[in-house]
Amino acid sequence: MDYLPLYLDVRDTVCLVVGGDAVALRKIRLLLSAGARIRLVAPDILEELAGMLDHQRHEIIQRPFLDEDLSGVRLVIAATDSDAVNGAVAEAAKARGLTVNVVDGAEQGNAIMPAIIDRSPLIVSVSSAGKAPVLARLLRTRLESLLPDGYGRLAELAGSFRTQVKARFSSLNDRRYFWEKVLGGPAAEQALAGNMEQARKMIGQALDAQDEQQVGEVYLVGGGPGDPDLLTFRALRLMQQADVVLHDRLVSEDVLALCRRDADYVYVGKRRDQHTLPQGDINMLLVKLAKEGKRVLRLKGGDPFIFGRGGEEIDTLAEEGIPFQVVPGITAASGCASYAGIPLTHRDYAQSVRFVTGHLKDGGYDLNWSEMVRKDQTLVFYMGLMGLPRICQELVDHGRSPETPVALIQQGTTRDQRVYTGTLDSIVSDIAEIKIKPPTLIIVGEVVQLHERLKWFGLEQENA
């Protein structure tokens, strides 16, 4: 982060604004809405601005800025049309250790003013660190439509119950469960509709009915192949409310960053023949954490039901009577192929597709190779990079043409995606001098020849 987001209490404190035109007017309106006392300094001041500050709480000083104007102030805003004056104000303010914002000159000050969605007491702000203020305002406009005025009423109502809820629940997790249930339920809907008395009654009823011993739950969520934009809304919602996150090696850093920041993170990833935790231990850890009343996110790369061992994990949960939800994700075959411009099926090339694991439970490759040699079938191998020579040889030995196109997609859908193509006969030698690392997906079939024509993502990186 270029800046640390903070909200500043300026009620009944003196805030200095240097500048007297329309820009200063906009900033002063914000300060007044936050309860600040204004000290305005400028040689020329708009009539509207002077009238707005015609009150004993505020000061109007009609002259150029002087260092003495900084005495006793909490916040400084330089809002003149002169870079030199704004710079001088900023330097003087920073020399005194003050917070200073320079309008349209973020690099001169030490604070920036974000685009604001005001649903007081709920405040949402958007900032581009001063680099693209128009973009921040566009995002604010979009968020405005998602946050009706009723959210302010809802926040006020929730605030009025804080003391009661804290007295009722000794555990922070239990309080969080309660509020998430209430704020996502019918009481919140009543408040958003303006029926405040009914909403208050429903929250009181929910508080009386709560049992302090909460039942935990496990969320088995597919994190997709790497690009966080491919997550489902439901996945993101559960990622944001989990108390503990168990994640594997195939979950990208960008996806992991979207989980709740104050959750506990447990890495349970697996490499070939190297498991941080054996699968059985992972299953029992999920049970243990859920029985402690925690909401547990089991975050997996791709889709948890496609070579993700998700079935094994929820089978254990079901045996132990642990509630769970399963959220599918975009599997690597679909995501990586799409980002590489390789359709897995095509009327002219492939009428079926088969997903194959390149690494069996016992570490072997005892696959039904004879069923994989049809020319009109696309094969997608997961976890097959280490066994690539064996895979190519077995397919050729069982009748697939040595000229069959092959694609390797490394770190598909991410900014580090690389695509390497060849044939069953050539791909091993083609990549002999290239250090390819997992996760890498292998696609075998005639559809691979469409890659050159249909590729669209990361063109400047391919074969780098």
| 43 known ligand binder | yes
Rounded Cα–Cα distance for residues 47 and 357 (Å): 75
pLDDT of residue 464: 45
pLDDT of residue 359: 67
Q: Architecture of 14-113 per CATH?
A: 3-Layer(aba) Sandwich (3.40)
Rounded Cα–Cα distance for residues 19 and 85 (Å): 10
423: phi then psi, degrees, rounded to nearest 5: -130, 170
Instruction: Encode pLDDT of 405-427 as tens digits.
Output: 999 999 999 999 999 999 999 99
* 77-104 residues labelled b (16+ CB within 10 A) or e (exposed): bbbbeeeebbbbbbebbeeeebbbbbbe
Tell me if residue 407 falls in helix, strand or coil: strand
| 383 known ligand binder | yes
418: phi then psi, degrees, rounded to nearest 5: -135, 140
Non-local (6+) Cβ contacts of 147 within 8 A are 117, 119, 122, 124
| 121 known ligand binder | no
Q: Are strands 405-410 and 244-247 parallel, antiparallel or unpaired?
A: unpaired
Whether residue 455 lies in the annotated active site: no
CB 302 within 8 A of CB 330: yes
Q: Count CB atoms within 10 A of the CB of residue 272.
A: 12
- Mean of the per-residue pLDDT values for the chain? 91
164: phi then psi, degrees, rounded to nearest 5: -65, -40
Rounded Cα–Cα distance for residues 173 and 428 (Å): 52
Tell me if residue 303 falls in helix, strand or coil: coil
Q: Which residues of the chain have pLDDT under 50?
A: 212, 462-464
Non-local (6+) Cβ contacts of 284 within 8 A are 316
Rounded Cα–Cα distance for residues 139 and 25 (Å): 23
pLDDT of residue 274: 55
Rounded Cα–Cα distance for residues 133 and 251 (Å): 32
pLDDT of residue 432: 93
CATH superfamily of 217-330: Tetrapyrrole methylase, N-terminal domain (3.40.1010.10)
79: phi then psi, degrees, rounded to nearest 5: -130, 40
| 404 known ligand binder | no
| 321 known ligand binder | no
> Prior bond to 121 cis, omega within 30?
yes
Q: How far is CA 243 from CA 97, 217, 219, 250, 265, in A?
A: 39, 10, 11, 21, 9
What's the fold here for domain 150-209? Helicase, Ruva Protein; domain 3 (1.10.8)
Q: What is the domain partition of the chain in residue ranges?
A: 14-113, 150-209, 217-330, 336-454
Q: Which of the following is catalytic: 69, 174, 248, 294?
A: 248
The CA-to-CA distance between both ends of the chain, in Å, stands at: 29
Q: Which of the following is catalytic: 94, 181, 270, 288?
A: 270
Instruction: Calculate the CA 430 to chain-centre distance.
Output: 37
| 303 known ligand binder | yes
Largest CA distance in the chain: 93
Q: Architecture of 336-454 per CATH?
A: 2-Layer Sandwich (3.30)
pLDDT of residue 215: 56
Q: From the DSSP assignment, how many helices (H) and strands (E) are in the chain?
A: 17, 19
Rounded Cα–Cα distance for residues 43 and 38 (Å): 16
Nearest to 222 by CA among 304, 283, 315: 304
Helix axes 172-183, 196-209, angle to 10 degrees: 140
Length of the chain: 464
| 302 known ligand binder | yes
Whether residue 2 lies in the annotated active site: no
pLDDT of residue 212: 47
| 114 known ligand binder | no
Hunting for tokens 């939800």 — which residue is that?
A: 325
Rounded Cα–Cα distance for residues 76 and 100 (Å): 5
What pTM was computed for the model? Answer: 0.65
Rounded Cα–Cα distance for residues 107 and 101 (Å): 9
| 22 known ligand binder | yes
Instruction: Encode pLDDT of 423-463 as tens digits.
Output: 999 999 999 999 998 899 999 999 999 999 999 997 655 44
